[in-house]
Structure 1
Amino acid sequence: MVLVNNKEASISKEICNFTTESIILRDNTMRLHELLHQLPRYKREDISKITFDNGICFFFEEGETYNGYDRVVRVGAHIVNNKLKQRLRDHYKPNQEGSVFRKSIGKAFLRYDQYKFEEMLDIELSRGKLPQGIKKYEKEKNIEQRITKYLNNKFSFVCVKIADKKMRLRFEEGIIALLHNTEDFKPSSQWFGRYSPNEEIRNSGLWLRDGLKYMPLTAVEVQKLEILIWESI
């Protein structure tokens, strides 16, 4: 009987620890979004207005929310010092090879096109028509232009000044892991990332594949981030 009680107590403790951890993750994710919404919001044409050259950027996508705040859908940092603005501009250049972010969106467009192609084919063939609409659709689509247009129309971003490279990279991975591990941090049913062929992107609600399994940002690091955010302002 003692063994049974000890086993039950152990299970109860594990459940309690898991619940506590989940609450902490959610609280930190909420605080992160609260803090980020204090920062100036930028679009592509505003990159030159950023007053520092080293830091982390957070992207928001139209239609995506988290508990009343615009939801972070991508976190990015730069390895080479003084390249924050250059990395941001790279995302908007018509060259998928220069930006993993662009490439991820492009792959989602291709998968979306596959569904649309099959749907159009079914409709046209069911009406006894030759697939002329499909030929026209295939001719007109231009992935690079569509990626750029989507980025311009759907995304905005904020930046946090972090001069130290080691700190910058740790915050990047910690924030990504924090968001990924927060139970209620989910994409909407209409999120375009659901068309991604990458399971990590579809499931995480982030336009990211790396950093999901690192150690989440701690409460102490969230406090440090708060100081960095006010310094950025």
Structure 2
Amino acid sequence: MKEHLNENKDRSIFRKNIGRALLNKDNDPFIEQWNKNNLTKKNEKALDSNSVEFIKQKEIKEKVKEIEKRVTKYIIDNISFVTFQIDDKDKRLELESKIISTVSCCDECKPFPNWLGLSSPKEKIRKSGLWLVNELCKTPLSESDLKELKNILENAGYNI
């Protein structure tokens, strides 16, 4: 969860997708740069500080910082999270996939008409109403999965 609030799109596809939607909504050509990974510090140090490339990279970094701040603001203002611990990694990944699949396959689950994701350049995001492109419409939660998830949430202190 920390990765989603850490202003580094290259560490969170969630942040990268929100940034893409912000830029696409603004018709900002910087989206092409946003889709690339940032210049590494090692490569940056190799550039002459008076070179055109160094100045260009500095401008890119400033623009990325600006967008990262917009992404953080969007997350804080518009998204809430529920977290719960599942120690077994395989079980955690299985339930995550099934939760995503269940929501993405739900015919009644639609985004609000003003949801930022509708401005995403990624069709799967626009269609699913989720900030994801993986695990969509695969295996949904079974009745036994729902019972297990309910128990996990109740044990974590959530009132179900």
* Equivalent residues in 2 for 1:1-150, closer than 5 Å: 88-114=1-27, 142-150=66-74
**In structure 1, C-alpha distance between the alignment counterparts of 2:112 and 2:78, rounded to whole Å:** 15
CA contact (8 A) 2:19 2:71 kept: yes
CA shift for structure 1 position 90: 1.2
SS in structure 2 opposite 1:114? Answer: coil
One-letter amino acid of the counterpart of residue 12, structure 2: S
CA contact (8 A) 1:176 1:211 kept: yes
One-letter amino acid of the counterpart of residue 201, structure 1: I
Matched, 1:218 2:142: yes
Percent of aligned positions that are identical:
39
CA shift for structure 1 position 142: 2.2
Which moves more between the two structures, 192-201 or 106-115? Answer: 106-115
CA shift for structure 1 position 228: 0.5
Matched, 1:208 2:121: no
Structure 2 gap segments, 5+ residues each: 29-62
CA contact (8 A) 1:161 1:231 kept: no
TM-score (norm 2): 0.72
CA shift for structure 1 position 220: 1.0
TM-score (norm 1): 0.50
CA shift for structure 1 position 158: 1.1
One-letter amino acid of the counterpart of residue 113, structure 1: D
CA contact (8 A) 2:118 2:126 kept: yes
CA shift for structure 1 position 112: 0.7
CA shift for structure 1 position 213: 3.3
**What is the total number of aligned residue pairs between the two structures?**
122
**In structure 1, C-alpha distance between the alignment counterparts of 2:101 and 2:88, rounded to whole Å:** 20
CA shift for structure 1 position 166: 1.0
**In structure 1, C-alpha distance between the alignment counterparts of 2:103 and 2:3, rounded to whole Å:** 24
Measured on the aligned residues, the alpha-carbon RMSD in Å equals 1.6
CA contact (8 A) 1:162 1:168 kept: yes
One-letter amino acid of the counterpart of residue 115, structure 2: W
**In structure 2, C-alpha distance between the alignment counterparts of 1:160 and 1:149, rounded to whole Å:** 24
**In structure 2, C-alpha distance between the alignment counterparts of 1:99 and 1:217, rounded to whole Å:** 25
**In structure 1, C-alpha distance between the alignment counterparts of 2:2 and 2:98, rounded to whole Å:** 24
**In structure 2, C-alpha distance between the alignment counterparts of 1:159 and 1:93, rounded to whole Å:** 17
Which 4+ runs in 1 deviate beyond 6 A? none
Structure 1 gap segments, 5+ residues each: 1-87, 116-138
SS in structure 2 opposite 1:186? Answer: coil
One-letter amino acid of the counterpart of residue 109, structure 1: L
Determine which structure has the larger strand proportion and give its number: 1
- The match for 2:90 is 166
